[in-house]
Structure 1
Amino acid sequence: MIIADQMLVKKMNQKVLLNEIVANSPISRARLSEITGLNKSTVSSQVNTLIEKNLIFEIGQGQSSGGRKPVMLVFNKNAGYSIGIDIGVDSINGILTDLKGNIVQDQYHHLEKPSLDSNKDLIFSLIKELNSKIPDSPYGLIGIGICVPGLVNTEQKVAFTPNIDWNYQLDLKALIEKEFKVPVFIENEANAGAYGEKVFGAAKNYQNLIYVSVGTGIGIGIVINNDLYRGVNGFAGEMGHLTIDFNGLKCSCGNRGCWELYASEKALLQGNGAITSSQELIHQANQNDPDTLMALQNFGFYLGIGLTSILNTFNPQAVIIRNDIVEALPMVLNSIRNSISSRGNDKLTNNHELLLSSLGKNAPALGTSSIVIEKFLELFTS
């Protein structure tokens, strides 16, 4: 029991030190001792272990504040590499990142058909292509993260994808793990986007936030006290199916009057006749086309209706919106703000930041990559 307790303490100390080095490198052993409260011999011992594992390295002497110059330590971001894959309705976005989330390679493919069976081979070839680009490193490919626009249960199996023809009997996680011999993590797209923004993007400084992904449908990712909230079965965040019109249009989920039937990008484009893409709509807006500007005003209005309910429910510090149109046209964000302020209680809806995604289309893929990195580093400290 004593030996087990000692091992646990060593692992905990190692985790604390590694987290500080990742966040604050370059940093000295003496400074680590000051920050963590661990004695110098413990710091020295655990730092040596992390050096042996190729997770950190020394870069030479820093500036002295009196006495001997300290040897500075740096996190080895090139010790291994992660792959993040975002499977969308009409596209697949793949990235290769180092352990700090820096994108080393990326691949983007437009999909002609939203079907897993049609695109499974493309997913595998994309992973192989990214894997072939990994530089020489101690650990190579450490894992693969994949996100999908649908329900992913706690066993990381896809349970429902309203806008993609998916073979629910197919265990994608097991197939990819068998092929590439590394851990694979499957996540909901909005959850992944929320985590990407939390770790690398606009939400770094917020502990409680809502990420809103507006595309063919609407999904939200919920972060509470720095952790993703997934719900009992993993299905939390399906706020696109919040009812805003109880006698409204029939939705593919079986409900009527769902928020995404009025406020998704799909709904916006369907209501604008000849315009078939977000890029074309943005162009028309920049040309001051009256019909397009009115449609965008309504788009922001309907987004604000759902967001008001979300703000009243979660009372987050920040709401982050991911959508090409909203990011390109400030008038839409203004329309959203006006809709929220006209419908909500000031005390409930004014104490938040309404932000645009800083990672754009890479947010979900970076989120899955960050999950892979987190799990990999836990292996050394648990």
Structure 2
Amino acid sequence: MRFPFLAFAVLALILLAGCGSKAPRDPAPTGYGSPTLQRAAAVSGDFASVSGVDRFIRRMEQHGFSPAETARIISGAQRQQSIIDLMNRQAPSKSTGPNGAWSRYRAKFLTEDSIANGAAFWRRHESALARAESRYGVPPEYVVAIIGIETRFGGFVGKTRIIDALATLAFAYPRRADYFAGELESFLIMTRDEGISPFQPRGSFAGAMGLGQFMPSSFHRYAVDFTGDGHRDLWHPEDAVGSVANYFKGHGWRAGEPVAARARVVSGANAGLMKTGFDTRYGVKDLAGRGIVPAGSLGGAGQVSLLQLDAKGGYEYWLGLPNFYVITRYNHSTYYAMAVHQLAQAIRERKVGAGGVRLSAN
């Protein structure tokens, strides 16, 4: 019959301990792992219980986001299967021989409308483009060409909510989940710093934003307030102009130097057997010894990349200079960079030169 007595004694000791003024108490739980904050940070909606979400919530705490705040944002994001489908279709097809791919690609961008609209955009924002050239050394035509190819001079900036694009790719696209989780992290910091709702910005299905289609990580590195209003707004033409020029400068643009020159391949040269691409490096003298010589100025460059373009009627060969490589930092594609270069030259001729535009391949 000792059990009731022992139980009463234990209960008494517990009550006394709870009433003692000097009894130590455990601190209130503060970490994300505590039950209180786990309940506060519960994610609902399309990404509830999805792998990687809890880890991302903890990651955002490093930037001052409470678990509850991050969970609220993720709960408001929507999974878009169409985004995953589009990403899966991005893989380039491999060509087995000449098929005119460059000519078709070029025709998408070097159109009469693109050139005319590029010259008009230049006229509307001439002051901002001149300031950008003075500050960053990038000629206006290259900034305008980038904006033209990316968004048709601001006419097509994308309609997908950025939060949906990045959350879908961070939590439902394992192949590149780490990359897009980083972009989602940068995006949430951007919206907080700029004082805008994370559900407001819209852009591409991959999360690119504004007239220049910057990813959020590029926003933090290269976006500038070119209007002086205290905000970096990639949807504002002047901020976009300054930001694109700053991006080029940050990747090593060399003011006053050329971008690319057409190559002349002498009869009997085996250019088709050589490695080509924007990341190749050849000495100019070495190429000359192989029968490949520049048909235009190289600005004194001693090394160039050898570029092969699959044009209608046969391959074209070009020599890429350091500024050509800078353009490929925007999009790692020889065709993209050459389209930017040729559109820039056509826009400059329309804007500055007299007479009609020359739509040649040079």
Q: Give the TM interval when normalised to the shorter protein.
A: under 0.3
> 1 or 2, which has the higher strand percentage?
1
TM-score by length of 2: 0.27
TM-score by length of 1: 0.26
Larger Rg: 2
> 1 or 2, which has the higher helix percentage?
2
